[in-house]
């Protein structure tokens, strides 16, 4: 059965309120169902988290959302706490992100934020303050899985009803102890239904637009933001078909596999290739030579069938029987791909064997595994 928000109405719930419509409806639903609800706005952005100093940017980012959360809390007549996790966010998300980019990988800070901040430090703070559950506006479901052969209750992470909004990709690092104390009240709703409920509850955020991207970056392009922390180490751009030097890149850290609009192309043959309606993409990065390899859409380097994974995490807390027939996605919202997971006997790393070649598999991103609508876990692409 799903962990229902209709049970245990005497429980104390801390709702993480971001100032958006999803968390606002989450609080309203739980309050309507009789829970003892308290809201909390979490400040995550360290004002001086980079050498350049982003104090004004950080403040302009969270203050308007905090005011919206205050308005919703006032409307619902619930208390709103303001908790500061900027130090933790810098250590576990910002520093992680910069370190990954420095090594030429493309990280996913949202996964680390969920693992360590939202359902790590936030949950710990909620429990320390006497709350039974932490509820958020994530689109996902939690199901209690009773197995007579297992002494303790197990929890499964299921995809949301709204497959377009499903956020299990970003939640796949959660564990059993975390899932036991989390609520996702929106998992059974479509986004359109959430909007309708916001109107019915007459919430101040009912018409608020979706927040996109990484808040602390603001309107600055990601490359410009990273440049304030990561050195530019230029190198050659190599055309994969002829091995010719096409130009110079600014540093492997600033490029990702599958990226178009590379820039700095000087070689006339490469320029002519683009003119012939054959756009160029980043197809590989050679760290030994500091070369950026580019090619066309059909370049074999852009496609993989066997993908190596490290730091594989299984939500159930136990390793499944291999080989495992499953589905997998290598990026958020990707259509689930049929695959088989096994263990490489030499390296002991997990290997995903895909039924079909996968485009632009990117080191540092996450491969997330599913079976019959259940998110089993995931790991980092090597």
- In this prediction, residue 53 carries a pLDDT of 43
Q: Are 295 and 283 in contact (CB under 8 A)?
A: yes
- In this prediction, residue 61 carries a pLDDT of 75
Judgement on whether residues 183 and 86 belong to the same structural domain of the protein: yes
- In this prediction, residue 261 carries a pLDDT of 73
Judgement on whether residues 176 and 111 belong to the same structural domain of the protein: yes
- In this prediction, residue 268 carries a pLDDT of 66
Q: How far apart are CA 215 and CA 207, in angstroms?
A: 20
Chain-centroid distance, C-alpha 39? 23
Chain-centroid distance, C-alpha 35? 29
Domain count, the chain: 3
- Asked if residue 63 is part of any domain, the answer here is yes
* Residue bearing tokens 């500061």: 84
- Asked if residue 126 is part of any domain, the answer here is yes
- In this prediction, residue 210 carries a pLDDT of 82
Residue ranges in the chain assigned as alpha helix (H): 21-32, 55-76, 86-89, 95-102, 109-112, 122-128, 168-171, 176-179, 191-200, 222-227, 268-275
Handedness of CA 167, 220, 43, 314 (dihedral sign): positive
Peptide bond between residue 271 and the one before it cis (omega within 30 degrees of 0): no
- In this prediction, residue 218 carries a pLDDT of 56
CATH code (residue 333): 2.40.30.10
Residues of the chain below pLDDT 50: 1-2, 4-6, 49-59, 150
Judgement on whether residues 54 and 180 belong to the same structural domain of the protein: yes
* Total-model pTM: 0.90
- In this prediction, residue 56 carries a pLDDT of 47
Task: Catalogue the active-site residues.
Answer: 113, 215
- In this prediction, residue 214 carries a pLDDT of 62
| Final residue belonging to a domain, choices 222, 247, 275 | 222
| Final residue belonging to a domain, choices 298, 330, 350 | 298
- Asked if residue 366 is part of any domain, the answer here is yes
CATH code (residue 214): 3.40.50.620
Q: How far apart are CA 13 and CA 37, in angstroms?
A: 5
- Distance in Å from the first CA to the final CA of the chain: 36
| 19 exposure class (CB count in 10 Å sphere: 0-12, 13-18, 19+) | buried
Handedness of CA 218, 219, 220, 221 (dihedral sign): positive
Judgement on whether residues 352 and 253 belong to the same structural domain of the protein: no
> Domain limits at 246?
232-298
Residue (of 299, 75, 326) closest to 205 by Cα position: 75
């Amino acid at each position: 059965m799903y962990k229902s928000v209709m049970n245990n109405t005497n429980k104390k719930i801390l709702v993480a309120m971001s100032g958006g419509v999803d968390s606002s409806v989450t609080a309203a639903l739980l309050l309507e169902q009789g829970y003892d609800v308290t809201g909390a706005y979490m400040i995550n952005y360290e004002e001086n988290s980079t050498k350049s100093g982003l104090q004004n940017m950080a403040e302009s980012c969270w203050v308007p959302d905090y005011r919206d959360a205050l308005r919703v809390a006032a409307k619902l007549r619930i208390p709103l706490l303001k908790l500061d996790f900027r130090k933790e966010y810098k250590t576990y998300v910002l520093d992680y992100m910069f370190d990954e980019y420095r090594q030429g990988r493309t990280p996913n800070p949202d996964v680390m934020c969920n693992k360590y901040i939202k359902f790590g430090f936030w949950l710990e703070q909620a429990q320390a303050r006497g709350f039974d559950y932490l509820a958020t506006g994530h689109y996902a479901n939690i199901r209690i899985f009773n197995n007579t052969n297992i002494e303790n209750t197990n929890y499964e992470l299921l995809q949301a009803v709204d497959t377009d909004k499903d956020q299990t990709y970003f939640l796949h690092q959660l564990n059993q102890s975390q899932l036991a104390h989390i609520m996702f009240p929106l998992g059974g709703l479509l986004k359109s239904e959430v909007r309708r409920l916001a109107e019915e509850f007459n919430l101040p955020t009912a018409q608020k637009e979706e927040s996109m991207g990484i808040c602390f970056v603001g309107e600055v392009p990601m490359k410009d933001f990273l440049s304030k922390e990561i050195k530019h180490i230029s190198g050659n751009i190599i055309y994969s078909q002829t091995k010719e030097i096409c130009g110079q890149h600014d540093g492997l850290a600033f490029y990702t596999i599958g990226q178009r609009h590379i820039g700095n192309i000087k070689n006339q043959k490469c320029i002519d290739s683009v003119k012939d309606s054959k756009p160029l993409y980043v197809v590989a990065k050679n760290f030994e030579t500091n070369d950026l390899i580019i090619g066309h859409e059909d370049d074999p380097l852009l496609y993989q069938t066997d993908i190596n994974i490290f730091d594989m995490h299984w939500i159930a807390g136990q390793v499944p029987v291999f080989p495992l027939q499953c589905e997998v996605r290598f990026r958020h919202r990707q259509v689930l791909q049929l695959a088989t997971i096994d263990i490489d006997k030499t390296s002991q790393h997990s290997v995903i064997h895909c039924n079909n070649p996968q485009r632009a598999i990117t080191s540092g991103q996450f491969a997330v595994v599913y079976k019959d609508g259940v998110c089993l876990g995931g790991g980092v692409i090597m």
